[in-house]
Amino acid sequence: MDTSAAYVRGDEQLHEQTRARLVAVVGSDAADLGRVAGEVAHRLHESGQEPDFEVRSADFATDPFFVCADRYWRRRFADSPSSATALACARWIAAHTTAGCRSAVREQWALGNGFINRSHLETREQLDEAARALTGTPEAAELALTVLLYNAGKLRANFAFDDLNAVLTASALATLAGAHRNEAIVLALRSFAAFGSRSLTTEHARDLLDRAWAAAADRPGHVMDVCLNGLAVSVPFDGQGELLRRLAQEAVESAPGNHMFRFRLATAHHLCADHDEALVHLDAALALLARSGAFSRELLLEQYLVKRDAIQEARLRAAREAEHEGRWQRQDAANADLERAMHRSSIRAVELVAVFTSAIAFAVGSLQVTLSGTLKLRERLWLLTALGAGLAVFALLIVGGTWLITRTRTRTRR
């Protein structure tokens, strides 16, 4: 018996069984679909066989073929998180996906597996070697793009902004990708790098963001998410929170069921100190994540819960600060009332002293006029009247001057 023929028949039988099992779960709920797809992917991986079917969408919720291929390549990347695996994946994508979903599948697997395997960074020399291995091969530019995105996904997950910008703009892989460097996902990653870098300007980052966002308007997905992610982790700039909130709201409206867009919107409200609204959208993101078939659900769940704790802590801190601010305002108001009362008391005291002094002076002067001298009664009365009038004018001048001075100071304080 021909052993090679037997192996071929065995492989064909395995692939037929694979397709039959996946067809059988079309229309099932996400949990059953994911379970069966995972079992099939495990069997293919253990047998050393790549999936031999066509992927026509990038839908985790309804497409068992995409989910099965996704689980399979996740295992391959876990075994060897290198550019060589990314190249093998790129070739599979080119051969087994339809044109309509190819970009979405490439972005999902390259960036997603880059995020998962972010601790396995490759050197610039290794990336250059991967580019040299591709030079002269058919579809080299498209294959280079997948490998480039995979490594960019690692750098993005590690917030290596300057390294990410260098790989996307000056590496051999970027050069080999050619015109693909102008694709929206590359522009979005460059904007992410520019927003986080302290050597690139915010204006440059926003220009890249605008170009990427405009290109992704009719295809919401990873491009929008990378753009929003860049804004969220950016070096702070004026209007950052408001811009993120506006764009995240646009993303949510374009894809209401996308849990990541909800998370980005929650982050935007958090930056704008709108903590109650941030919690609303964060809880919505958690609910959507629980129903999704995202391959990195556990990692995303941890990220979302950390953000939720941060929002709650900020909300509690804001409430305490508001309470303290209220106390300070009440104390300031009480101090101001006390200061005004003391001020008025001081004024009244000065006025009272002026009047009292005038009264004493009049009394003393009256006694001297009355008890001594040879003036006639009428002359003494005129003298007393003049003395009293003079002291009254003196008192009025003191009171009026005090009122005028204190009135001017009160207006200045206001």
The more confidently predicted of residues 198 and 335 is 198
pLDDT at 221: 85
Q: How far apart are CA 64 and CA 22, in angstroms?
A: 6
The predicted model scores a pTM of: 0.77
- b/e sequence 232-262, b meaning 16+ C-beta within 10 Å: bebeeeeebbebbbebbbbbbebeeebbbbb
- pLDDT (tens digit, 9 = 90+) per residue, 29-40? 888 898 999 999
Q: How far apart are CA 307 and CA 270, in angstroms?
A: 9
Average pLDDT over residues 125-137: 91
- b/e sequence 181-204, b meaning 16+ C-beta within 10 Å: bebbbbbbbbbbbbbbbeebebee
pLDDT at 64: 94
Q: What are the residue ranges spanned by the domains of the chain? A: 343-413
- pLDDT (tens digit, 9 = 90+) per residue, 67-100? 999 999 999 999 999 999 999 999 999 999 999 9
51 closest CA partner among 8, 4, 7, 95: 95
pLDDT at 360: 64
pLDDT at 348: 62
pLDDT at 131: 94
Average pLDDT, the chain: 85
Which of the four pLDDT bands, split at 50, 70 and 90, describes residue 6?
very low
Distances (CA, A) of 31 to 25, 28, 64, 292, 309: 11, 8, 11, 9, 28
Which of the four pLDDT bands, split at 50, 70 and 90, describes residue 138?
confident
pLDDT over threshold 50, residue 1: no
Average pLDDT over residues 190-194: 98
- pLDDT (tens digit, 9 = 90+) per residue, 378-402? 666 676 677 667 667 766 776 676 6
Q: How far apart are CA 248 and CA 13, in angstroms?
A: 47
- pLDDT (tens digit, 9 = 90+) per residue, 287-319? 998 887 665 678 888 999 999 999 999 888 877
**DSSP letters spanning 332-350:** HHHHHHHHHHHHHHHHHHH
pLDDT at 243: 97
Q: Report the SS3 class of residue 97.
A: strand
Q: How far apart are CA 58 and CA 106, in angstroms?
A: 9
Q: Which of the residue ranges 2-11, 138-147, 368-377 would you say has the lowest mean pLDDT?
A: 2-11
- pLDDT (tens digit, 9 = 90+) per residue, 197-242? 999 999 999 999 999 999 887 777 899 999 999 999 999 999 999 9
Q: What is the dihedral of CA 266, 270, 273, 275, to 10 degrees?
A: 60
CB atoms within 10 A of CB 263: 27
- If you ran DSSP here, which 8-state letter would residue 136 be given? T
Distances (CA, A) of 121 to 108, 172, 229, 346, 375: 19, 17, 21, 76, 116
pLDDT at 4: 45
Q: How far apart are CA 98 and CA 93, in angstroms?
A: 9
pLDDT over threshold 60, residue 9: no
Signed CA dihedral, 96, 97, 98, 102: sign only: negative
Average pLDDT over residues 248-271: 94
Phi, psi angle pair for 391, to nearest 5°: -70, -35
Which of the four pLDDT bands, split at 50, 70 and 90, describes residue 7?
very low
- b/e sequence 139-149, b meaning 16+ C-beta within 10 Å: ebebbbbbbbb
Q: Residue 43: what residue type?
A: R
pLDDT at 61: 83
